[in-house]
Amino acid sequence: MLRIGFDGRALASPAGGVRRYTRELFGALAGLGGDRRIVAVGPPTGVALPRGVRAEPAAPSLRSNAGWMLTGLPLAARRARLDLFHAPAYTVPVMSPRPLVVTIHDVSYERHPEWYPYRRDPVRRAFYRWCARAADRVITDSAFSRAEISAAYDIPPERIDVVPLAASSAFTPGPALPLPPAVPRRYVLHVGDLHKRRNLDVLVRAMSRLRSIDPHLRDVGVVLAGVDRQEAHDALSADEMNASGAIALGSADEATLLALYRSAAALVYPSRYEGFGLPLVEAMACGVPVIASRASCIPEVTGDAAVLLDPDDVEGWTAALAELLGDAGFAAALGEAGARRAATFSWRRTAQQTAVIYDRVLNGV
């Protein structure tokens, strides 16, 4: 029985996308059966494991994320007697068991450091680079990210495998669900941390303009569901937020996200840079029409099932929102196209493709 281990702390990551990736992927891998046992190494106390996943206890560790990677995780992974270790998000344990696979979702830190102007980020970028180059195999979410990783870290593209993500099975069309009290009756939705690369000023300005010129749309608000990273405030003034009817909900759990998707007039995603853009597929799986940037991996993910726009074209975003909000038939057709597109992604398929990579690594191919 092969023992495949992963960092159990990723199940409680502060990044919602990392949590969902870890839970969905390793749960689906356990569900494939066969001769693999999936092991969560050092999961935090109280964190529910995906069905079929076993836990191996943590080892003594220095008290920091870096300390966990340097001490606790390598020791716990060695004690777990693993045949392969898969790091699910960017960083790998130092002196890790071999073979070693790492998933890198995007390299925005390296390709656009101007979006991350913090004192410690050069150190983090250097560690991410070391982790990418230390792995026997790199997995990423899109062909766009494969090219970006190769360019950023000088890794041959043939060492990088593309395995797309999927929406959780919870995200389906259905009746409206109770919403948080602050949410307006009509709204467009953005899901993801409030960050400079998400380009939210374009969305806010487009909605401000639309509400000012069309009296029938003055009750349509903008709901921002995601952790506020503060740096987005440089681009989002209080006056523009008020004029657009925008509200920032903060982080939302899966049940709240499902409720938000089901009642949204559209998912609006003006991001300049994504490795995959999981909210795109989640919204499409719920039958929600999508308007998004024609940038990074987004056309690769949405295909022809979304309205795609230049990320800097405020007038174009205003016109697209006006058409979608004013034409119920167009919105319904776009939502149906999105649902068909989302159905081409599944976590079982993601797990099957990942298992093939494990077999190749274990066989030295």
- 62-94 pLDDT, tens digit each: 677 777 777 878 888 888 899 999 999 999 988
Q: Count the neighbouring beta carbons within 10 Å of the beta carbon of residue 303.
A: 14
The average pLDDT across 316-327 equals 97
Gap between the Cα atoms of 301 and 313, Å rounded: 21
Q: Which residue blocks in 137-226 are alpha helix, DSSP H?
A: 143-153, 200-213
Q: Which pLDDT score, from 0 to 100, does residue 276 have?
A: 97
Segment among 235-239, 243-247, 305-309, 355-359 with least mean pLDDT: 235-239
The average pLDDT across 151-178 equals 97
Q: Which pLDDT score, from 0 to 100, does residue 346 have?
A: 97
Query: Does the pLDDT of residue 103 top 80, yes or no?
Result: yes
Q: Which pLDDT score, from 0 to 100, does residue 230 have?
A: 61
Gap between the Cα atoms of 50 and 335, Å rounded: 30
Query: Does the pLDDT of residue 128 top 70, yes or no?
Result: yes
Segment among 87-101, 250-264, 349-363 with least mean pLDDT: 87-101
User: What percent of the chain is helix, strand and coil (3-state, nearest 5)?
Assistant: 45, 15, 40
Contact 80, 55 (CB under 8 A): no
List 247's β-bridge partners, or say none. 223
pLDDT classification of 123: cutoffs 50, 70, 90: confident
Q: Which pLDDT score, from 0 to 100, does residue 120 have?
A: 59
pLDDT classification of 314: cutoffs 50, 70, 90: very high
Instruction: Give the CA diameter of the chain.
Output: 65
pLDDT classification of 332: cutoffs 50, 70, 90: very high
- DSSP codes joined into one string, 288-337: --EEEES-TTHHHHHTTSSEEE-TT-HHHHHHHHHHHHH-HHHHHHHHHH
The average pLDDT across 261-284 equals 98
Report the percent of the chain where pLDDT is more than 70: 95
Gap between the Cα atoms of 277 and 306, Å rounded: 13
The average pLDDT across 293-321 equals 97
Q: Count the neighbouring beta carbons within 10 Å of the beta carbon of residue 96.
A: 22
Burial class (CB in 10 A: 0-12, 13-18, 19+), 338: buried
The average pLDDT across 301-306 equals 98
Backbone angles phi, psi at 142, to 5 degrees: -155, 160
Q: Which pLDDT score, from 0 to 100, does residue 62 have?
A: 65
Gap between the Cα atoms of 66 and 93, Å rounded: 9
Report the percent of the chain where pLDDT is more than 90: 76
Query: Does the pLDDT of residue 232 top 60, yes or no?
Result: no
Q: What is the dihedral of CA 294, 297, 299, 301, to 10 degrees?
A: -140
The average pLDDT across 321-338 equals 97
Residue 249: alpha-carbon gap to chain centroid:
18
**Domains along the chain with CATH numbers:** 2-166+346-362 (3.40.50.2000), 186-342 (3.40.50.2000)
Q: Which pLDDT score, from 0 to 100, does residue 67 have?
A: 72
Q: Which pLDDT score, from 0 to 100, does residue 341 have?
A: 98
Arithmetic mean of pLDDT over the chain: 92
Query: Does the pLDDT of residue 260 top 90, yes or no?
Result: yes
Q: Which pLDDT score, from 0 to 100, does residue 234 have?
A: 55
Peptide bond into 157 cis (omega under 30): no
Its pTM stands at: 0.93
Sign of the torsion angle spanned by Cα atoms 179, 181, 186, 188: negative
Q: Which pLDDT score, from 0 to 100, does residue 96 have?
A: 77
b/e burial code for range 130-160 (CB count within 10 A of at least 16 → b): ebbeebbbbbbbbebbbebbbebbebeeeeb
> In a 3-state reduction of DSSP, which class is residue 186?
strand
Q: Which pLDDT score, from 0 to 100, does residue 116 have?
A: 79
Q: C-alpha distances in angstroms, 141 versus 114, 162, 265, 347?
A: 23, 5, 27, 12
The average pLDDT across 325-342 equals 98
